[in-house]
Chain A
Amino acid sequence: MPKITIDEQEIEFAAGIPVLQAALDAGLDIPHYCYHPGLTVVASCRLCLMEMKMPHPKSGELGWAPKLFPSCQTPARDGMVVRFNSETVVTGRERCMEYFLLNHPLDCPVCDQAGECSLQDYSYKFGKPESRMVDPKLVMPKKDIGPQTLLYSDRCVMCTRCVRFTKEVSGTSELCITNRGTNSEIDVFPGKPLDNPIQGNVVDLCPVGALLDKDFLFKQRVWFLQSAPSICPGCSAGCAIRVDANDDIVYRLKPRFNPGVNDWWMCDEGRFGWKYALSDERITTPRLRRGSSTKTPKWEDVSEILQYRFSQHVDEHGSGGMVVVLSPMMSCEEAWLLLSFMLKVGPNVTAVIGPILSVGEDQAFPAGSTGDETKFIIRSEKAPNRRGLEMIIDQAGCETLSFDEFVESVGDGEVSAAWIVGGYPEKTWVPKALEKAVGKLELLVAQDLFETKLTAAAAVTLPACAFTERAGCFVNHAGLIQPFESAVAPPNGCHRDGQYLYELAGYQGLYTPDRVRELMAATMSQFADVREAAPAPVHLH
């Protein structure tokens, strides 16, 4: 690997990256605004400047060149010697930080970005405590630039990341710059607001509190938030995300760097589409039904009850008519535990993958791009784990049916017992034909987030948890296995699916995805070493 010397430290770097990236990769905190690895380099904020050794034009001797260079624009080369710790660099940076704050309203107490703002952090670390300006500040407007997003121009440092994002990544070009010089502002064409399926990323990209998410506006001080790494269940892309919560309440989702999958981005559907988890219509307790009377069993009895009901059913009808409908919203671990249980009670059980909503075609950004030009794709398959279920069912070698065939078989009276898992954000996922035929089942267990015709008819109803409350792994459209952690506790009284399925499958103690994957790995080695997406580089705000 090529090496570069930064501040007397020899550092290895991946060929083809700028010095700044090499420094950041090595964990150095080099302040920068306009540079973002996912966007073109404009080298305009002039904050990442460095000194560089160059051969003297006459003597050829290597020495510090008498000027500064933007480290974001300078490709790292083997043997290069640069520094960020010299007097010139340090004072230059100090001045630059002073400039950024000249016209800034210093309204950090009411700014959502406070606490994760690189203007705060850099000023603290690289700036000076006071400004030398005694003249009036320029006042810039606040703008409502789109259904989801606000712009407080006052706080903008004109890094143009947001503009480049809409040009280069979303390809929608809503954002632009108006005026020039010190009067430059970010703007949209009046009446053509920032409104595209991945627009939320501009808020993440904004290094300061200029672009704000209306959904999160004034909701929380960020230092109260705790983050859990997760995977967005919105589609089969498998975007790595972070769930930010406080006190078991989720406040926002943010993308995590996940090279080759979602890189730095996520779509708005995923970003804002998790609110169903907060609904107070959620099923939170198990429920038993005999005829028209219902009863809430104790959680500790649930395993035994289910065991009993299925054994009894198999005793009476055999396991030939027994079906388990695994939901593509389930984690691999959950699906594997449930299938293990079903196979144990009824070796001839048929496995079915629940319905998978497909919306249009895969949506590439920028629109119409192909191959390397494509920066982001929203998948048409609106479920996170079809591939995972296929792997598990394949390995189990059981009979399978498509979901449509299953619905038909129920209608034809060929299915006697079924465990049907839902867990979809939409309460309307159950097809009419199934609703109609559900009475023909001798035994129905329904596991879901919300009440449906199935849960109403089921002998046993079990609550499902939202992905923010669960832990496990999903296999994305390309077969990549990605783990996610739970960010919050399930609603009061509710147990995590993983936990009760773990007990049901005959295991003792606390469910952990690691433990289950170890068990799975005995027959499916892919699950032996499931890792986090690359941790978000520290420098990315």
Chain B
Amino acid sequence: MADYEPVLLKNISLEGSTDLKVYESAGGYAAARKALKMTPDEVTEIVKEANLRGRGGAGFPAGVKWGFLPKDREVTYLCVNADESEPPTFSNRVLMEKDPHQLIEGTIIAAFATQAQKAFIYMRVEFHEPFHVMQNAIDQAYAAGYLGKNIFGSGFELDVFIHRGAGAYVCGEETGLIESLEGKRGCPRIKPPFPAVEGLFHKPTVVNNVETLCNVPHIIERGAAWFKSIGAEGSEGPKLFCASGPVNRPGCFEGPMTITCRELIEGDGYGRGMRSGKEVKAVLPGGISMGVLTADELNMVMDFDDPRNFGLLGLGTAAAVIIDQQQDIRKVLANITRFYSHESCGQCTQCREGTSWMDKIATRIADGVGRTEDLDLIVDVTKNMGMMPGLSICGLSDGAAFPIRTIVQKFRGEFEAYIAEQPPTSTLRVLSTFN
């Protein structure tokens, strides 16, 4: 992809990229000025036409979402989802830390299209530097008259506030986010009603991911056709990918959604291959929640559709962690089960009990006290949770089920080998100590 011209990350290596003047001299805020001369519906139409699919994980087209807002609404809220807590995802952090005005501009345009007069950037609390960078950029934008009343002389008015989270992954789920914004525990709400109809403070609300909104100014400036010329049908536009683990150049990269997982790991514009002495054992390519790929499955295309062909939930956050051969797959599994057990909000029985049960089992297996039937048991538990089969309220439990199930299924041989090596007394120990 030598000829890929970065869009979202084009400013980040500029000196002082977080500064308003630098952003403007690179052409910033032209799109917002342009959009505010159109009608909100025209803006929505262009975004719909571009088929900008949400970058937060679910891939829902942003323009369509905006179109769900009831016509007769009086107050609308825009929530910018900057909770970014999916391991190992950090692209929103890069966007906010390096190019805050791009997000502000996207927010202005989205708010205008949805006629929201207040936007809340819900940011995870561990983001300290991004918080200060964003807040400074917001202050600059206010000072320049780009936020507040009568923006660009259009009469449009918008306030943007950062709302800091307090440590809960599930607050990234859009209705968990809304509950948390309202000062409550971040337990996702049952849907319907969807936020577009009844969201923050019971008002129509749009929740969009940081990266989704960062795409908006470019769509307005360069048009839907340009946007669709990047990538492939159904997966259009520029996309950020993350790579972490023992690759030569871990980081956040931009490219079209036509690259494969292998390219993300090995490509010159991406991870530049494994560190010496390291070989790929497994990759969790879409954040941990989408599931795992084996070293033989790296030809998966990083788009919205192909992951399903590999038994994965979807593209997710397009953030890959590469697990090398030296890693003990039992520890990888236990790390992931612990994550979901720790982060489940606890409303839904299947998620609350299922995630903690799986964590007990996986931890026991990692401690060398596993049983072969535990592997079937874990898979069975994963099949009894999730929003997609209707068993839970939010997608966290699907996100738990997929990686855990695919790891156990795709690496079953390895687990069985470990279990076979355990001293024969260890399984007896399970039954004697625990019962």
**Chain A–chain B contact at Cβ < 8 A:** yes
Interface residues of A, Cβ cutoff 8 Å to B: 41-47, 49, 67-70, 73, 92, 95-96, 99-100, 102-103, 132-136, 138, 157-158, 177, 179-184
The reply to whether the CB of B343 lies closer than 8 angstroms to some CB of chain A is: yes
Q: Decide yes or no: A67 and B354 within 8 Å by CB, A134-B434, A177-B185, A182-B346 being known contacts.
A: no
The reply to whether the CB of B360 lies closer than 8 angstroms to some CB of chain A is: yes
Closest residue of chain A to B347, judged by CB? A44
CA separation between A370 and B391, bound complex, in Å? 38
Task: Tell whether, in the assembled complex, residue B361 and residue A158 are in contact, meaning their CB atoms are under 8 Å apart.
Answer: no
Task: Tell whether, in the assembled complex, residue A99 and residue B354 are in contact, meaning their CB atoms are under 8 Å apart.
Answer: yes
Chain B CB count within 10 A is highest, among A44, A45, A138, for A44
Cβ-closest 5 pairs across A and B: A68-B390, A182-B356, A99-B353, A67-B390, A135-B360
* Pairs across A and B, CB under 8 Å, 30 listed: A41-B190, A42-B347, A43-B393, A44-B190, A44-B347, A44-B393, A46-B349, A67-B390, A68-B389, A68-B390, A68-B391, A70-B190, A92-B384, A95-B380, A95-B384, A96-B384, A99-B357, A102-B353, A134-B435, A136-B360, A136-B434, A157-B349, A158-B346, A158-B352, A177-B346, A179-B346, A180-B185, A181-B342, A182-B346, A182-B352
Task: Tell whether, in the assembled complex, residue B190 and residue A182 are in contact, meaning their CB atoms are under 8 Å apart.
Answer: no
Task: Tell whether, in the assembled complex, residue B353 and residue A100 are in contact, meaning their CB atoms are under 8 Å apart.
Answer: yes
Q: Decide yes or no: A181 and B355 within 8 Å by CB, A67-B390, A134-B430 being known contacts.
A: yes
Closest residue of chain B to A182, judged by CB? B356
CB distance from B253 to the nearest CB of A (A): 34
Task: Tell whether, in the assembled complex, residue B349 and residue A184 are in contact, meaning their CB atoms are under 8 Å apart.
Answer: no
Q: Decide yes or no: A49 and B357 within 8 Å by CB, A134-B435, A180-B344 being known contacts.
A: no
Beta-carbon contacts of B340-375 to A below 8 Å, as 1s and 0s? 011111111110111111001100100000010000
Task: Tell whether, in the assembled complex, residue A99 and residue B346 are in contact, meaning their CB atoms are under 8 Å apart.
Answer: no
CB distance from A393 to the nearest CB of B (A): 52
CA separation between A69 and B388, bound complex, in Å? 10
Cβ of A47: which chain B residues have Cβ within 8 Å of it? 349
Cβ of B175: which chain A residues have Cβ within 8 Å of it? none
Beta-carbon contacts of B317-356 to A below 8 Å, as 1s and 0s? 0000000000000000000000001111111111011111
Closest residue of chain A to B354, judged by CB? A99
Task: Tell whether, in the assembled complex, residue B350 and residue A180 are in contact, meaning their CB atoms are under 8 Å apart.
Answer: no
Which one of B341, B357, B390 contacts A135 once the chains associate, using CB atoms below 8 Å?
Answer: B357
Cβ of A177: which chain B residues have Cβ within 8 Å of it? 185, 346
CA separation between A99 and B356, bound complex, in Å? 10
Chain A interface secondary structure, helix, strand, loop or mixed?
Answer: loop
Cβ of B388: which chain A residues have Cβ within 8 Å of it? 67
Which one of B344, B364, B384 contacts A181 once the chains associate, using CB atoms below 8 Å?
Answer: B344
Task: Tell whether, in the assembled complex, residue B347 and residue A135 are in contact, meaning their CB atoms are under 8 Å apart.
Answer: no
CB distance from B356 to the nearest CB of A (A): 4
Chain A CB count within 10 A is highest, among B341, B347, B371, B388, for B347
CA separation between A103 and B360, bound complex, in Å? 12
The reply to whether the CB of B392 lies closer than 8 angstroms to some CB of chain A is: yes
Cβ of B371: which chain A residues have Cβ within 8 Å of it? 134
Q: Decide yes or no: A46 and B350 within 8 Å by CB, A134-B434, A177-B185 being known contacts.
A: yes
Cβ of A103: which chain B residues have Cβ within 8 Å of it? 353
Cβ of B348: which chain A residues have Cβ within 8 Å of it? 44-46
Cβ of A49: which chain B residues have Cβ within 8 Å of it? 390-391
Task: Tell whether, in the assembled complex, residue A69 and residue B390 are in contact, meaning their CB atoms are under 8 Å apart.
Answer: yes
Give the size range of B's interface with the partner: 35 or more
Cβ of B69: which chain A residues have Cβ within 8 Å of it? none
Task: Tell whether, in the assembled complex, residue B190 and residue A43 are in contact, meaning their CB atoms are under 8 Å apart.
Answer: yes
Cβ of A43: which chain B residues have Cβ within 8 Å of it? 190, 393
CB distance from A189 to the nearest CB of B (A): 15
Task: Tell whether, in the assembled complex, residue A134 and residue B431 are in contact, meaning their CB atoms are under 8 Å apart.
Answer: yes
Task: Tell whether, in the assembled complex, residue A46 and residue B434 are in contact, meaning their CB atoms are under 8 Å apart.
Answer: no
CB distance from B364 to the nearest CB of A (A): 6
Which one of A45, A67, A136 contacts B389 once the chains associate, using CB atoms below 8 Å?
Answer: A67
Cβ of A68: which chain B residues have Cβ within 8 Å of it? 389-391
Residues 386-435 of B at the A interface (beta carbon under 8 Å): 388-393, 430-431, 433-435
Residues 281-337 of B at the A interface (beta carbon under 8 Å): none
Closest residue of chain B to A43, judged by CB? B190
CB distance from B392 to the nearest CB of A (A): 6
CA separation between A182 and B360, bound complex, in Å? 12
Q: Decide yes or no: A180 and B346 within 8 Å by CB, A67-B388, A69-B390, A135-B360 being known contacts.
A: yes
Beta-carbon contacts of B183-218 to A below 8 Å, as 1s and 0s? 001000010000000000000000000000000000
Cβ of B30: which chain A residues have Cβ within 8 Å of it? none
Cβ of B168: which chain A residues have Cβ within 8 Å of it? 180
Chain A CB count within 10 A is highest, among B346, B349, B357, B389, for B349
Closest residue of chain A to B356, judged by CB? A182
CB distance from B389 to the nearest CB of A (A): 5
CA separation between A183 and B353, bound complex, in Å? 10
CA separation between A49 and B348, bound complex, in Å? 12
CA separation between A133 and B434, bound complex, in Å? 9
Cβ of B354: which chain A residues have Cβ within 8 Å of it? 99
Task: Tell whether, in the assembled complex, residue B434 and residue A184 are in contact, meaning their CB atoms are under 8 Å apart.
Answer: no
CB distance from B355 to the nearest CB of A (A): 7
Cβ of B26: which chain A residues have Cβ within 8 Å of it? none
Task: Tell whether, in the assembled complex, residue A181 and residue B434 are in contact, meaning their CB atoms are under 8 Å apart.
Answer: no
CB distance from A33 to the nearest CB of B (A): 8
CA separation between A103 and B377, bound complex, in Å? 17
Task: Tell whether, in the assembled complex, residue A182 and residue B434 are in contact, meaning their CB atoms are under 8 Å apart.
Answer: no
CA separation between A305 and B430, bound complex, in Å? 81
CB distance from A49 to the nearest CB of B (A): 6
Cβ of A157: which chain B residues have Cβ within 8 Å of it? 349
Task: Tell whether, in the assembled complex, residue B390 and residue A181 are in contact, meaning their CB atoms are under 8 Å apart.
Answer: no
Known A44-B349, A45-B349; further 12 A-B contacts with Cβ < 8 A: A49-B391, A67-B388, A67-B390, A73-B190, A99-B349, A134-B430, A134-B431, A134-B434, A135-B434, A138-B356, A158-B346, A177-B346
Closest residue of chain B to A72, judged by CB? B190
